[in-house]
Amino acid sequence: MQTVVIVIHLMIVAVMIGAVLLQKSEGGGLGMGGGAGFMSSRGTANLLSRTTAVLAAGFFLTSLFLSWYAGYNRAPSSLIGAPASQSQPGSPVAPPTSGGILDSLKKADEQQQAPAPSGPQVPRSQ
């Protein structure tokens, strides 16, 4: 299912790029876009702008569907504190019972931390 939507998405992208490149430049960017050409009539410009709008809507919808489908079966999991032996494919990861790495770092920081001074201290020279 996902592969089919990705192929449709890429086809929409390729056709949309072509439709945008075929349109006449309004501001004369890079000195081009003026004069008579193969796409010079007003009706063709309306057709190309409508085609671009439809393709942009298709691009938007396929992008939304792909992002929804990617997160559909995703289960929350913890990377910190879960041993490798507990994580089996298809089973959710249980939260750590003995505390994770952040808890152990906090305990180590509390043990090393000196008591805070009661007021401003004058720097001492060595």
pLDDT score of 89: 56
Residue appearing with tokens 């004369």: 28
Q: What pLDDT is attached to residue 50?
A: 92
pLDDT tens for 12-62 read 999 999 999 988 776 655 555 555 555 555 667 788 889 999 999 999 999
Where does the pLDDT of residue 124 fall: very low under 50, low under 70, confident under 90, or very high at 90 and above? confident
**Burial (CB count <10 Å: 0-12, 13-18, 19+), residue 50:** exposed
pLDDT in tens, 94-107: 555 567 777 777 77
CA distances from 111 to 10, 57, 107 (A): 57, 59, 6
